[in-house]
Structure 1
């Protein structure tokens, strides 16, 4: 049996027991948001780690979307304007949600209901939009929006 595979532009992280694929155009704040989520979760005593930053290998395995890091960028995260940093990673994670970083002005003010992110694997992930404005408490935002599904 052949496994469907694709390489996508994005960042994949694990928070607690859930995997999140951060998506959006270059410069939209994916890496910054991922680092903020990981840092906040760890400070709160929860497990959090990077899977991959900038490029993510996705595979459809046993009906689940699994993210892995291309070997050439393992353990690396871009800190825009500062350089490339290193961070603890996990080798793979099942992706449960897509995070779309959004910046003010928010248009539309509220996201579409049941918004999904289509993957090249023929599947979709539900989207949660998260503001990337300065001072946004990203973990609190995620917990307020999808508390029952965040994994802690």
Structure 2
């Protein structure tokens, strides 16, 4: 049975990332920043879905799919829905939870979250700090892009 979760999911290289947080915390903005950074290095990056995702598990993996009604759409705050290239299904490897900046630790201990009976690593990152959050996510994924993207952004 699939559950419907509020959040945004992306595929970066061969890794799936689910971004969750309260409404208005920058989930979509972080997703778009991650997609842009990974694509700028010539790597595969796609949106799975923005705002709502159906979740299920199989073989100890968390699976997320885009609801048919929003496939290929991303909501750009201030502009509304826009079309975007998607991969409508992903295995999720990392959960990013956007929290109030006062609750975000500078050097957090490893943490995990269980979604749909699957235990996954979780990053609790400050909401609205897209640049730093994207750098942390890329470093955590360890897909060989952190150095290249960081140097391109800050070089």
Q: What TM-score does the superposition give when structure 1 sets the normalisation length? A: 0.82
Match of 1:70 in 2: 67
Q: For 2:144 and 2:91, how far apart are their aligned partners in 1?
A: 13
Query: 2:138 matched to which residue of 1?
Result: 143
Structure 1 or 2: more helix by fraction: 2
Residue of structure 2 in register with 1:88 after alignment:
85
Checking the alignment, whether the CA contact within 8 Å between 1:10 and 1:56 is kept in structure 2 is yes
RMSD: 2.1
Superposed, 1:108-147 pairs within 5 Å as 108-111=105-108, 113-119=109-115, 121-131=116-126, 132-133=128-129, 136=131, 138-144=133-139, 146-147=140-141
Q: CA separation in 2, counterparts of 1:39 and 1:138?
A: 14
Structure 1: gaps spanning 5 or more residues? none
Deviation at 1:109, TM superposition (A): 3.7
Q: Look up the match of 1:58.
A: 55
CA 1:147–1:118: 2 relative to 1, 3 Å: closer
Aligned position for 1:34? 31
